[in-house]
A and B are shown apart, each in its own frame.
Chain A
Amino acid sequence: MTLALETRALCKSFGALTVADRVDLRLEAGVRHALIGPNGAGKTTLVNMITGRLAPSAGQIFLAGEDVTRLSQAARVRRGLGRTFQINALFRDMSVLDNVALGIAERDGVGGRLWRPASAHVRVCAEALELLAMFGLTDDADRRVLDLPYGKQRLVEIAIALGLRPTVLLLDEPAAGVPSLESHRILESLERLPASIAILIIEHDMDLVFRFAQRITVLVQGEVLCEGAPAEIADDPRVRRVYLGERRG
């Protein structure tokens, strides 16, 4: 079976510092896969390499069986790779609708059209509104992103990525910085994401991880410590020692 995403012996070094060391990751289509590890484990670096923002020092990245290691970010997006950012990376001075519509327009190849008004691209606008409705953001469509509460901004992050119709979605700490009262909205939204999308989620909120993920990879100091089902990970003494502490399980 062709994997939706695979990394083979992926390495990244900054001088003498190795932040990713022969990382092998395998995501099947539609899987919910979590990547956990203590701060500085190299999780975001790994996501940045997968998306093409950072060039790996060695190793390969495959999307649906195709080697994309040397492709640009844009080319990977066109092949179905979407991502969200750990710290909001939104178009802050633009409306919520525009934030989502920009991505949809790029996906549909109309983002560079020079003449017809953007608002005349009815299909783009309609799809953006549908996505906003899915995340409960319809009433905020015309508001500037800057004026939204942080929790809603996190939802806009996910909506933008989803607008690209990805087959693989990388969620970099989607609940980071969100008050606990609002994080359930994030989880609910994640649970409603289309089942066909393979999702790799990086998250420090262990309740969210264990509720959401079907598989978990633990990364420590740039190396894969172990990989398995949530119950296996929770019972693994190495994981408990380096990451979860002895309370769990």
Chain B
Amino acid sequence: MELSQFIEKFAEQFDNTPKSSFAATTDFKQLEEWDSLISLSVISMVDDELGKRITGADIRSCATIADLHKLVESK
């Protein structure tokens, strides 16, 4: 999956954060809406869209959305 598409899918997991807040360099864990439910939604999205399994620890090890995209692609 291309990075731009991944950012879009990532942003879809949020309800109240504007789409303009999401970019490759976004430090997503600092977003006000970020919580364990969204973390779970991201895990589910990666599983549904890419058929890959990531963990909460994987997500926490990433600083930016681009980092997470790279990690997912390496799985």
Q: Do A and B bind each other?
A: no
